Structure 1
Amino acid sequence: MSHSDDHGRIIHHDLKTTDVGRSIAFFEALLGWKAVEVTPGGPESTHFQMRVGDRIACALMGLDADLGVPSHFVPYIACDDVDAVCARFASAGGEVRIGPMDLGEHGRWAVCSDLGEGLVSLWKGTDPPAPRDETAMPFGLFCWDELLSTDAARDAEFYAGVFDYDVKTMPTPDGDYLVLERGGLMHAGVMQKPAEAPGPSTWLSYARVEDVDAMTEKARSLSAQVWVDPRDIPNIGRFAVMADPTGALFALFREASTAS
């Protein structure tokens, strides 16, 4: 099936947080994000854009703590046809959680879950997404996403079927890392979730930073819980994994050519 170059590309992120003020303060202090209120409302309806200069790092909005769902990031995957991709999610055993629906004049949107209950948003905007970065992403922006999966091989094949990705296997010291790509462009990774980690599959978004070690210590000082201390991925870069004070999981990354 023929697709546009942007089909299957992760183009945006939402942060759903149980404490809007605490999340804003944390990410402004750690990554230099600046909160810009877009849609005012109550604790669960106010919408902020978190910006780095003139770039949007993510959208941030409240999540009712009484639902028992921890704060979390949700990646947006660009689609040529949101309804068609929703149908593929459902026929492959996933679930359409919200939509598809039009969001005013901005575009068409849905939220789906995969076989391991990992959540993604699907998006077809009335305007095309920003061009893919040809150089390194500015510091503070997300540069990579991977699915921490309860069954990596199964879920890689699931997403390959839904988005017509090819699956590339990259051996690592911790086991095979699966990359979802099409036309030679890498879109996301899939990694086996540690057996001791509870809960469903979840997407992990990597923010590019200048110094992973220094930023990890800064995150600790801001009450983050560090899950994976800074470590190297041979020939790739250096990373750490942590959760913000409200429980939202994310990672820091610096590429190998200049990794600290």
Structure 2
Amino acid sequence: MAMTHGSFVWYELMTTDTAAAERFYTSVIGWSAKDAGMPGMNYTLLSAGDAQIAGLMAQPEEVRASGAPPAWLGYILVDDVDGCASEIATKGGKVHRQPDDIPGVGRFAVVADPHGAIFCLFKGRGEPPADRPAPGTPGTPGWHELMAGDGEQAFAFYSDIFGWTKADAMDMGPMGIYQIFAIDGVPAGGIMTKPEQVPVPNWGYYFNVEAIDAAIERVNAGGGQIINGPMEVPGGSWIVQGFDPQGGYFCLVAPKR
């Protein structure tokens, strides 16, 4: 997928125990890990082969003090971070962290949609990496899923801000409509109104693994918890959702059991 306005380009885990989280995710997903060498902070880069996929850092003190659990954040590429953050605020969203620079990397902001689901905006310096792993490569992102306050309203919001378009929609019966969205014409994720048992609207990110049953064994061995699945989804892939040992919500997808 081309890295254009509206594309997910980075994933970041803020957690309470970075060393334990690194052990868990490198085992479960197969990432390699190395320190980013950022002055003044510890930030771990997680890679699939030569491709950097995600980052890992300690929760900022103010986030931990608020009682927020460890969580994955998705970064969405935009042409203008400041302008997009302002637009989100005027359309009912919230800016949790005003646009700021990451020295030598780019500019970002932490924002939320009108129902409170948090994500990040990002614009990098220089050109993005030319070579991206093929879709489905273990360790790469495979799907993005929003449990929204209101699925229809959420799709309208993200479509307006990022230009996402509707792909297939699945009728989930009492659970409502699962609307698949496309980025540059390529299906990239789904949006649905959250079930009552999901406490707050949130984004979930599915990372590719080779086989779901083996990944479940690694999750259990590493002290994580599977809360849903394994479940086969349309197209033949298998998914699970769970919590890591620190309580961070994560998802996995694989082409086989």
TM-score normalised over the length of structure 1: 0.88
* Runs of 4+ displaced beyond 3 Å: 39-42, 64-67, 130-135, 172-175
The equivalent of 2:254 in structure 1 is 254
State the shift of 1:121 in Å.
0.9
Asked if the contact 1:207–1:252 (Cα under 8 Å) also holds between the matched residues in 2, the reply is yes
Alpha-carbon distance change, 206 to 132 in structure 1, aligned in 2, over 3 angstroms: farther
Residue correspondences, number: 251
The equivalent of 1:19 in structure 2 is 17
The equivalent of 1:156 in structure 2 is 155
Deviations 1:190-212 (A, max 9, x none): 122221121x2111010111111
State the shift of 1:161 in Å.
1.4
The equivalent of 2:165 in structure 1 is 166
Corresponding residue SS for 1:246: coil
Letter in 2 for 1:71: P
**Structure 1 position 86 matched with structure 2 position 78:** no
Aligned counterparts of 1:132 and 1:179: Cα–Cα separation in 2:
26
Alpha-carbon distance change, 218 to 106 in structure 1, aligned in 2, over 3 angstroms: closer
Aligned counterparts of 2:3 and 2:57: Cα–Cα separation in 1:
30
Asked if the contact 1:30–1:215 (Cα under 8 Å) also holds between the matched residues in 2, the reply is yes
Q: Considering only aligned residues, what root-mean-square deviation do their CA atoms show, in Å?
A: 2.2
State the shift of 1:173 in Å.
4.2
Alpha-carbon distance change, 206 to 182 in structure 1, aligned in 2, over 3 angstroms: closer
Aligned counterparts of 1:134 and 1:17: Cα–Cα separation in 2:
26
Deviations 1:159-196 (A, max 9, x none): 11111222334114454221222542234321222211
Aligned counterparts of 1:134 and 1:41: Cα–Cα separation in 2:
29
Aligned counterparts of 1:227 and 1:47: Cα–Cα separation in 2:
28
**Structure 1 position 70 matched with structure 2 position 69:** yes
Aligned counterparts of 1:217 and 1:194: Cα–Cα separation in 2:
27
Question: Could you tell me which of 57, 60, 83 is aligned with 2:56?
Answer: 60
The equivalent of 1:209 in structure 2 is 209
Aligned counterparts of 2:101 and 2:144: Cα–Cα separation in 1:
26
Aligned counterparts of 2:189 and 2:231: Cα–Cα separation in 1:
20
State the shift of 1:41 in Å.
7.6
Aligned counterparts of 1:54 and 1:209: Cα–Cα separation in 2:
16
The equivalent of 1:195 in structure 2 is 196
State the shift of 1:155 in Å.
1.0
Alpha-carbon distance change, 184 to 40 in structure 1, aligned in 2, over 3 angstroms: closer
Aligned counterparts of 2:38 and 2:159: Cα–Cα separation in 1:
38
Asked if the contact 2:3–2:9 (Cα under 8 Å) also holds between the matched residues in 1, the reply is no
Asked if the contact 1:103–1:109 (Cα under 8 Å) also holds between the matched residues in 2, the reply is yes
Corresponding residue SS for 1:230: strand
The equivalent of 1:178 in structure 2 is 179
Letter in 2 for 1:176: I
Aligned counterparts of 1:160 and 1:184: Cα–Cα separation in 2:
13
Q: Percent identity?
A: 27
Asked if the contact 2:241–2:249 (Cα under 8 Å) also holds between the matched residues in 1, the reply is yes
Question: Could you tell me which of 23, 32, 35 is aligned with 1:34?
Answer: 32
Gaps of 5+ in 2: none
**Structure 1 position 96 matched with structure 2 position 95:** yes
Corresponding residue SS for 1:162: helix
Asked if the contact 2:133–2:140 (Cα under 8 Å) also holds between the matched residues in 1, the reply is no
Q: Which deviates further from its counterpart, 181-190 or 76-85?
A: 181-190
Gaps of 5+ in 1: none
The equivalent of 2:121 in structure 1 is 122
Deviations 1:223-256 (A, max 9, x none): 112110201113241101011001111111123x
